[in-house]
Structure 1
Amino acid sequence: MRPFRLRSRPAVALVATLTVAAGAVLANTVSAQAAGGCRITYTVQSQWTGGFVANVDVANLGAPLTSWQVAWSFTAGQQVTQLWNGTVNQSGALVTVANTSWNGNIATGATTSFGFGATVNGTSNPVPTAFTLNGIACNGGVDPTPTGSSPSPSPSTSPSPTASTTPAPAASILDQVHTVGRLKTTDASVQYTWPGTYFEGRFRGTGVGLVINDSTNDYVVAVDGTTVATLVTPGQVTHWVRDLANGDHTVRLAKRTESPWAAGEFGGLVPVDGGAILAKPAARSRQIEFIGDSWTAGYGDISTSRDCAGTGVTRNSNADAAFGALTARGLNADYQINAWSGMGMVRNYNGQTPDTTFRTYYDTDLQALWNSTVWPVPSAWKPQVVVIGLGINDFSTPPNAGEKWANFDELAADYQAAYLAFINKLRTRYGAGAEIVLTYPDLSYLTTALADSIQQIVKTRNDGGDARVSSLYYDNNALGLDLLGCDWHPSQHDHQILAATLTRHLATLPITW
């Protein structure tokens, strides 16, 4: 069997401001005079070869603003690829960022922020030195004669919702929909990054609108259990489902793709004329948490070819069709998919980004996003089953020269210790009654270190009195996995087999549903 080739992900610091090159300054504060005065703080939060993530704070020192537009020019060919908490237009070197429909107001003395990811040529990434706010250069002063009004934002590359579809406050959004995903609330939306995050609602009428702001991810929309749309990087938009039979319906929005450093935003449901948003569906009594890497995230699972160079991995990935989602829906369980391609328990694919692993980000709400924090686990989230699939990236390539492990034996020792500590964390969080299932595929073409380690971890837990830890071996050949997904990953055919195999294993466990 061929090795699994997994995407690597750049390590992104959560809060630290890093240095890109000798003498380079990444946090640059310049003051601004714009409709009464402003101050811009531009911070490069992390950088890797070919890209970086930055955050921009906009402090209003003058009269209150009802809309804003920040502009600057890059000097080294940087290109913004994704942006959150705003809408972006880039023409050559000139970048213009305008407010969204929910964050246009900035009171005197208040600050708003937006962040973005961008590409850069090599390592040269000079920070911009001149900014404007609403067309006026920033210099830190206060305009003695503020105009009291602000120019309207210029058109962005993403369509804006109409006035009738302005998102409701975040609290009312969660009153509209059922979700168990890891979220961060803003003034008028909820943000999320983990793959497979879903929202479920009910409505009456002939249609419904879904308010979304996301230029990075893909989504699937289902009504009454039937897929009605696939949204590819929809941008800032209200997506309408129309021409349904008049009556009561359910709607489900699910995030298909991974975006560890770019958040999607959901702004709630909007009824059609004469319709209504109904009480949200009840939470399910069964809960499952899936923890893992690219197999769990659904990397390339809807591709029909192992070579996805032409169409790209992202467009061929669907966490909502991966084995975790299939298993949970088959058991009528709510679920989380907390997965990140290329990440391992102690070692990422081929030893990349050695300073971070999956465990670095497991506790976060928004993974590697600039404003990510520790996710406050709600009391309602108590999964009876936790399924872990971490280890492929640790062991699918031999340790390289310069890594901390000289061989698989040394790697296995650290892997087992970290895994046991991780299980302790889960036990503390979810209690002694949760069933923890450790899954692993066939890596025998290279090493038995993964299989041996998993079996030893389970034995250690069982011998210590924890009988609710078990293992599940995915025998690729015996199960008939074709691995026709991108880069030799499981295909849709394979994920259905994996879901059935996992479901059979769960049926043998004394789960207290």
Structure 2
Amino acid sequence: MFPKKIAVLISFLLISAVSNSQTQNLNKTFLYQGRIDKLQNDQVILIGTASSVSFNFTGNECSISLQSVEDHHNYVQLVLDGKYIGKIRIEKGAVQSFPIKVASNQKEHRLEIYKNTEAQSGNVLFAGTTAKLTSISFKKKKKIEFIGDSITCGAASDPSDVPCDKGEYMDHHNGYYAYGPTLSREIGVDYLMSCVSGIGMYRNWNDEHKDEAIMPDVYPNLYMTKDTSKPKYDFVFQPDIISIALGTNDFSGGDGKKERLPFNAEKYVSNYIDFVKMLYKHNPKVQIVITNSPMVGGERGVVFEDCLNKVKKAFANDKAHKPIQIFKFKPMKPNGCTGHPDVADHKVLAEEYGPFLKKLLNEK
């Protein structure tokens, strides 16, 4: 579940002026969501899965300027007037212009641009639009943050444009239809995606935390890397619920070639507890939900659930925060690429998990 190393940001990128990670209404013409880095002149770096920029405009057409800020291509997904209209492939190189044509007779239109891929697949620059902009506002909603690995990211879920045995890792992502964004739209909440393919709580898919960073290492950084030259995550997005789905890679046997130690339950639980404490420090009122994995079953699944129960028990006497909740996904035979859930599978996961989260939100 771990992609090859992705190139870092190209050095000629505009220097970041303000970093941000939540919905903004300070700018009346653009609405930003997710892990993003706001630059000068209304330009923005889309970093995390399903991070987005939206705007309202008049007229029947406009163009948007995008750049894959990497040495490879990348993708965004578009929603026009509430309707998903597909993906755009952004080739590597200079800023490119993409035409947007409107078919409806509405006087005003809304375009939403979502980053299709995860942070580790590189970043996308939104460099502006020719649209005749009108003001934009947002309705205050409850918020959920989804922390996880490739499953949460929607990685390897969509071979509709490029078959599973062709192309590169980012060609098969579909962040918009990952279970988190899908269920969030269904229950009417805002969401933040903090996920990295192949990552774990104490070790990764094919690394014993020797050469690669684990989630507790990268989470506090806006770009979800260990690059100290990049901004820190600001924790301004204060979710009502944080969903943590980490363990699939900790339990993984790796590629079968590189040395893999037996699963260390004590280390997994210890790291998990410390991670939750860090989240509480920045989000004191949050409800935390920890989940198992639909990909981990049998004896490993039993050990997994035991570990989650130990994490929950560690906070049993914590009166300062809401009691930790555990959600158990049903076992799933995935239909996506390289053993991952596909878009249809993510819909199933969203239908399982959505009602549980909605009930928790209604109890707040």
Q: Name the TM-score class by shorter chain.
A: 0.7 to 0.9
Please give the per-residue CA displacement for 1:192-251, whole angstroms capped at 9, x wherever unaligned: 321111122211221232221225321111111112342012551222212443511111
SS across alignment from 1:319: coil
SS across alignment from 1:462: coil
Distance 1:259 1:484, change over 3 A: same
Q: 1:247 aligns with which of 94, 104, 107?
A: 107
1:341 matches 2:197: yes
Q: 1:436 aligns with which of 254, 267, 288?
A: 288
Counterpart position of 1:422:
275
Q: 1:303 aligns with which of 136, 156, 159?
A: 159
Counterpart position of 1:260:
120
Report deviation, 1:277.
Answer: 0.7
Is the 2:247–2:293 contact (alpha carbons within 8 Å) kept by the matching residues of 1?
no
Counterpart position of 2:20:
none
Q: Which runs of 5+ in 1 are unaligned?
A: 1-5, 11-50, 54-81, 87-102, 104-111, 114-170
Counterpart position of 1:357:
214
Distance 2:25 2:324 in 1: 39
Report deviation, 1:382.
Answer: 1.3
Report deviation, 1:298.
Answer: 0.3
Greater fraction of residues in strand? 1
Q: What pairs up with 1:34-433 in 2 under 5 angstroms? A: 83=10, 85=12, 174-188=27-41, 189-214=43-68, 216-234=73-91, 236-244=95-103, 245=105, 247-260=107-120, 262-271=122-131, 276-303=132-159, 308-351=164-207, 354-355=210-211, 356-368=213-225, 371-378=229-236, 381-397=237-253, 407-408=262-263, 411-432=264-285
Distance 2:178 2:353 in 1: 12
Equivalent AA in structure 1 for residue 33 of structure 2? V
Distance 1:314 1:398 in 2: 20
Distance 1:228 1:310 in 2: 23
Distance 2:66 2:55 in 1: 15
Distance 1:358 1:222, change over 3 A: same
Report deviation, 1:315.
Answer: 1.6
Distance 1:395 1:229, change over 3 A: closer
Report deviation, 1:451.
Answer: 1.8
Distance 1:261 1:242, change over 3 A: closer
Is the 2:157–2:336 contact (alpha carbons within 8 Å) kept by the matching residues of 1?
yes
Distance 1:220 1:369, change over 3 A: farther
Report deviation, 1:84.
Answer: 5.8
Report deviation, 1:512.
Answer: 5.8
Distance 1:406 1:241, change over 3 A: closer
Counterpart position of 1:13:
none
Counterpart position of 1:468:
323
Greater Cα radius of gyration, structure 1 or 2? 1
Equivalent AA in structure 2 for residue 358 of structure 1? M
Distance 1:369 1:407, change over 3 A: closer
Give the paired residue count.
345
Distance 1:288 1:376 in 2: 16
Q: 1:495 aligns with which of 332, 346, 355?
A: 346
Distance 1:369 1:265, change over 3 A: farther
Distance 1:372 1:511, change over 3 A: farther
Is the 1:326–1:496 contact (alpha carbons within 8 Å) kept by the matching residues of 2?
yes
Distance 1:304 1:239, change over 3 A: closer
Distance 1:468 1:238, change over 3 A: farther
Distance 1:512 1:382, change over 3 A: farther
Distance 1:406 1:224 in 2: 51
Report deviation, 1:52.
Answer: 6.7
SS across alignment from 2:328: strand
Is the 2:292–2:327 contact (alpha carbons within 8 Å) kept by the matching residues of 1?
yes
Distance 1:232 1:303 in 2: 14
Is the 2:78–2:84 contact (alpha carbons within 8 Å) kept by the matching residues of 1?
yes
Q: What pairs up with 1:448-463 in 2 under 5 angstroms? A: 448-463=302-317
Report deviation, 1:402.
Answer: 9.9
Report deviation, 1:293.
Answer: 0.1
Distance 1:456 1:255, change over 3 A: same
Please give the per-residue CA displacement for 1:164-211, whole angstroms capped at 9, x wherever unaligned: xxxxxxx99954221232222333421232111112221122123222
Report deviation, 1:467.
Answer: 4.2
Structure-2-length-normalised TM-score: 0.84
SS across alignment from 1:375: coil
Is the 1:458–1:470 contact (alpha carbons within 8 Å) kept by the matching residues of 2?
yes
Distance 1:452 1:367, change over 3 A: same
SS across alignment from 2:221: coil
Is the 1:284–1:332 contact (alpha carbons within 8 Å) kept by the matching residues of 2?
no
Q: Structure 1 residues 488-497 or 351-360, which shifts more?
A: 351-360
Cα RMSD for the two superposed structures: 3.2
Is the 1:399–1:407 contact (alpha carbons within 8 Å) kept by the matching residues of 2?
no
Is the 1:304–1:484 contact (alpha carbons within 8 Å) kept by the matching residues of 2?
no
Equivalent AA in structure 2 for residue 417 of structure 1? S
Q: Which runs of 5+ in 2 are unaligned?
A: 17-23
Counterpart position of 2:21:
none
Equivalent AA in structure 2 for residue 210 of structure 1? I
Distance 1:203 1:450, change over 3 A: same
Counterpart position of 1:146:
none
Distance 1:324 1:251 in 2: 21
Counterpart position of 1:506:
357
Is the 1:399–1:406 contact (alpha carbons within 8 Å) kept by the matching residues of 2?
no
Is the 1:209–1:240 contact (alpha carbons within 8 Å) kept by the matching residues of 2?
yes
Is the 2:205–2:250 contact (alpha carbons within 8 Å) kept by the matching residues of 1?
yes
Is the 2:174–2:343 contact (alpha carbons within 8 Å) kept by the matching residues of 1?
no
